[in-house]
C-alpha cells in the first residue's frame, strides 16, 4: 500500500506514540515538501519520504490556495500523482476536496482502526489512543 500523509496526522500519531506503526501498514509513505517544511521543528522518521510535486501539480496548488493550507493541497495532489492508495488528512474541507478529486482518504482515527485490524494494537489500546487524541 502507498500513502501520502499530511502534517496533522504525523503530529497526532507521534504524540500518542503510534507513528512507527505506519511502517507495518504501508510499503511506501510519502509527504510533500510543504509538509516536511512545516515539520521543521520535528524531524519526521526516515520511513516518510519527502517528495516534490510535478510542475503541473505545483501550479495547481498555487492556483487553488484559499481555504486549504498548502500542505493539504500538496498532499492531495501528490496522492494523485503517485496513484497512492490513500491520502491521510484530518481536516474536513481537505477530505472533501480529496474525495471530489477521486482520491481515497483516511484520517488519524482511521489509521488507529487499521492498526487494530492488523493486530498492531489491541482494541483496548486503540480505544486508549483515541481517548488520548480527544483529550
What is the model's pTM? Answer: 0.92
The mean per-residue pLDDT over the stretch 112-122 comes to 96
C-alpha cell of 70? Answer: 498548502
Q: In this structure, what CATH number is given to the domain that contains residue 83?
A: 3.40.50.1010
15-71: pLDDT as tens digits: 999 999 999 999 999 999 999 998 887 778 889 999 999 999 999 888 877 878 899
How many domains, the chain? 1
- Terminal CA-CA length for the chain: 30
What is the distance between the alpha carbons of residues 55 and 68, in angstroms, rounded to a whole number? 19
Where in the sequence is the domain holding 119, given as residue range(s)?
2-134
| pLDDT given at position 63 | 84
CB-CB contact of 69 with 96 (8 Å)? no
User: What ranges in 16-69 are assigned the alpha helix state H?
Assistant: 33-38, 55-64
Ordered alpha helix ranges (H), 7-121: 7-15, 33-38, 55-64, 70-82, 92-100, 108-117
pLDDT of amino acid 43: 76
Amino acid at each position: 500500500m502507498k500513502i501520502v500523509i499530511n502534517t496533522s496526522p504525523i503530529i497526532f500519531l507521534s504524540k500518542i506514540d503510534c507513528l512507527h506503526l505506519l511502517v507495518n501498514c504501508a510499503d511506501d509513505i510519502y509527504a510533500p515538501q510543504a509538509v516536511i517544511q512545516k515539520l521543521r521543528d520535528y524531524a519526521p522518521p526516515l520511513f516518510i519520504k519527502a517528495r516534490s510535486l510535478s510542475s503541473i501539480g505545483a501550479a495547481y496548488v498555487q492556483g487553488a490556495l484559499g481555504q486549504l493550507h498548502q500542505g493539504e493541497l500538496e498532499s492531495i495532489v501528490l496522492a494523485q500523482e503517485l496513484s497512492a492508495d490513500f491520502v491521510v488528512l484530518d481536516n474536513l474541507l481537505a477530505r472533501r476536496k480529496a474525495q471530489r478529486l477521486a482520491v481515497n482518504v483516511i484520517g488519524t482515527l482511521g489509521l488507529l482502526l487499521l492498526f487494530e485490524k492488523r493486530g498492531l494494537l489491541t482494541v483496548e489500546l486503540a480505544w486508549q489512543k483515541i481517548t488520548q487524541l480527544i483529550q
